[in-house]
Amino acid sequence: MPRGEYKLEYKKDSSGDGVSTICNTTLPSQLSDSTDEFTTYFDQKIPVPEDEKHPWFSFRKLWAFTGPGFLMSIAYLDPGNIESDLQSGAIAGFKLLWVLLLATIIGLLLQRLAARLGVVTGLHLAEVCNRQYPKVPRIILWLMVELAIVGSDMQEVIGSAIAIHLLSVGIIPLWGGVLITIADTFMFLFLDKYGLRKLEAFFGFLITIMAITFGYEYFRVGPDQGQLLKGMFMPYCEGCGVPQLEQAVGIVGAVIMPHNMYLHSALVKSRQVNRANKKEVSEANKYFFIESCIALFISFIINVFVVSVFAQAFFGKTNKDLQEMCANKTFAPPSLFQSNGTLDVDIYKGGVVLGCSFGPAALYIWAIGILAAGQSSTMTGTYSGQFVMEGFLNLKWSRFARVVLTRSIAITPTLLVAIFQDVESLTGMNDFLNVLMSLQLPFALIPVLTFTSLRPVMNDFANGLAWKIAGGILILIICAINMYFVVSYVTGLGQTLYYVIASLLSIVYLAFVAYLTWLCLIALGASFLACGRTYHLGLTGHPELFLLNNIDADQASIR
């Protein structure tokens, strides 16, 4: 088909209501090129080499597609995940490794849907939401996703500040570490001026630092390999109670991040793929999935390192045990382990107890790993915010302006806590932030399943029946698990006022989730819910025509 032409075939609706459906659509090359003009964030696109000698699998092509998956996998290694890992090991030993494995696999399947949406349509998730949902729902959706990004940003600031505090042996106060994270974020943003591949290589370098540092801790402690494998592949939790159950729920909430769906669907646009060519689209989907498998496997191994270290060395220990172990250590404040009961660890205490048990080198290496986790996730969070703002609002801000906004929102409360409270208050914010991001999960998972199931949007690459059923069940389970996590957190606060506020907010929250679920069920095939026309519920019936009309209008205005 000549460049710039398109073919749309319609099938008359048998119900007689005058609504036509697309039964066969050939996406034009004009569409794939022009849609990139809406939100071209990267200054360059990576070409994909031809390799006729290896039609089924080519390492050259895999290398060309390598990058987006590793940037996506950094969300599985942010300070919030690391803290969840060490708490899992200290509270449940090796018994919850199977939960971590299952959560990572589920995350991979959901990331596959996000990547396919970006590859097939040439639009990322925020752009599709902007074009398909009505005005009020998409504004609410944008605010919820921005809230998740700010919450993630705060966790990254906290992790980096604590790492700097540990590396300086307490010389740099926590508030000083918070301020340093502002400056280094701007410095790292200049890296992308040297080319996309160099930026991706830098992220790979940070992941390597995390693998080396946490791997060092792993081999230094020497976990029981039999217990490790048993905990990973046997879904059991003998002798577990409420704390272990809540920790299992926390693992799922920490691993599957809402803004990561928006990020991954946008990152895949950085490769040159002719979306008018079905073979090229299929090939891109295949290689992006392989790359995501490799990236998440590496992130899973790093997470296992952290869980295993604390499971082997600190499971069953009490604060009194650590108080005796850390006596007369210059880097361990005497008041750190004064409370009685089971050991309660976080990122800061984790570094201290490693230093007390295995020497100062273990503490500093731990801090370097946490710093790498915080800095890498800070940058990907900035990219997520940029994509979301451009997609939902069609508003193009400079990287500098975007960072100033998100950093200001994230830094202000974090800085106040760092100045007027102690390190335990700062790390305690992570629990609240995990709850906040758990609440935002439906606002990423439901839209991505909705749009990847719509044939008018995905054409021949729409989800089949198996993916629709599996995706729906997975999202239902994840949302239920995270709601349990939220309820447990709120009830643990023990304040009637919090119960009242939470009850009022939950009514509005559940109503909006129900609205998104309604549209999702229609996309999954429950057409009887559409009341005659899907368009009335906000889903554009023919997005190809909608996009082409917008493109023509934009080009006319430019002329």
Per-residue pLDDT of 228-277, as tens digits, reads 999 999 888 887 887 788 788 878 878 888 889 999 999 999 898 888 88
3-class secondary structure, 332: coil
* Domain ranges across the chain: 54-334+341-425
Alpha carbon of residue 407 to chain centroid: 18
- C-alpha radius of gyration, the chain, whole number: 24
pLDDT of 180 strictly over 80: yes
Closest CA to 266 of 450, 114, 442, 425: 114
Mean pLDDT for 172-193 is: 75
Rounded distance between C-alpha atoms, residue 96 and residue 245, angstroms: 9
402 with 229: CB under 8 angstroms?
Answer: no
Over the stretch 380-414, which tens digit does the pLDDT of each residue have? 887 888 888 888 887 766 666 766 776 676 677 77
340 conformational bin, left if phi > 0, alpha if psi -120 to 50, beta if neither: beta
282 pLDDT tier (thresholds 50, 70, 90): very high
Rounded distance between C-alpha atoms, residue 424 and residue 446, angstroms: 35
181 pLDDT tier (thresholds 50, 70, 90): confident
pLDDT score of 369:
93
Over the stretch 151-179, which tens digit does the pLDDT of each residue have? 888 888 888 888 998 888 878 888 888 88
What is the percent of the chain where pLDDT is above 70? Answer: 78
Q: Tell me, yes or no, if the pTM score tops 0.75.
A: yes
CA distance to 133, 388, 403, 553, per residue, from 116 (Å): 20, 18, 28, 27
pLDDT of 98 strictly over 60: yes
Rounded distance between C-alpha atoms, residue 268 and residue 287, angstroms: 11
Rounded distance between C-alpha atoms, residue 401 and residue 406, angstroms: 9
Over the stretch 527-543, which tens digit does the pLDDT of each residue have? 777 765 444 444 444 44
**What is the dihedral angle through the alpha carbons of 33, 38, 42, 46, rounded to the nearest 10 degrees?**
-10
556 pLDDT tier (thresholds 50, 70, 90): very low
368 residue type, one letter: I
Q: State the angle between helix axes of 135-167 and 79-92 in degrees (0 to 180), rounded to the nearest 10.
A: 70
Alpha carbon of residue 96 to chain centroid: 21
Contacts of residue 553, Cβ cutoff 8 Å, sequence gap at least 6: none
Task: Retrieve residue 72's tokens.
Answer: 């996506």
∠ CA(28), CA(110), CA(68), 5° rounding? 65
3-class secondary structure, 315: coil
Tell the CATH superfamily of the 54-334+341-425 domain. Answer: Amino acid/polyamine transporter I (1.20.1740.10)
Between 444 and 344, name the one with better pLDDT.
444
Over the stretch 328-338, which tens digit does the pLDDT of each residue have? 776 767 667 76
φ, ψ of residue 156 to 5 degrees: the values are -70, -40
Rounded distance between C-alpha atoms, residue 205 and residue 86, angstroms: 23
Beta-bridge partners for 26:
7
DSSP letter assigned to residue 25: E
191 residue type, one letter: L
For every residue of 178-232, DSSP letters joined together read HHHHHHHHHHHHGGGGG-HHHHHHHHHHHHHHHHHHHHHHHHHH---HHHHHHHH
Q: State the angle between helix axes of 347-358 and 79-92 in degrees (0 to 180), rounded to the nearest 10.
A: 60
Contacts of residue 298, Cβ cutoff 8 Å, sequence gap at least 6: 73, 207, 211
Beta-bridge partners for 11:
21
Average pLDDT of the chain, as a whole number: 79
Q: Count the neighbouring beta carbons within 10 Å of the beta carbon of residue 115.
A: 28
pLDDT score of 428:
64
Cβ neighbourhood burial of 59 (10 Å; 0-12, 13-18, 19+): exposed
Q: Count the neighbouring beta carbons within 10 Å of the beta carbon of residue 527.
A: 12
Rounded distance between C-alpha atoms, residue 59 and residue 75, angstroms: 26
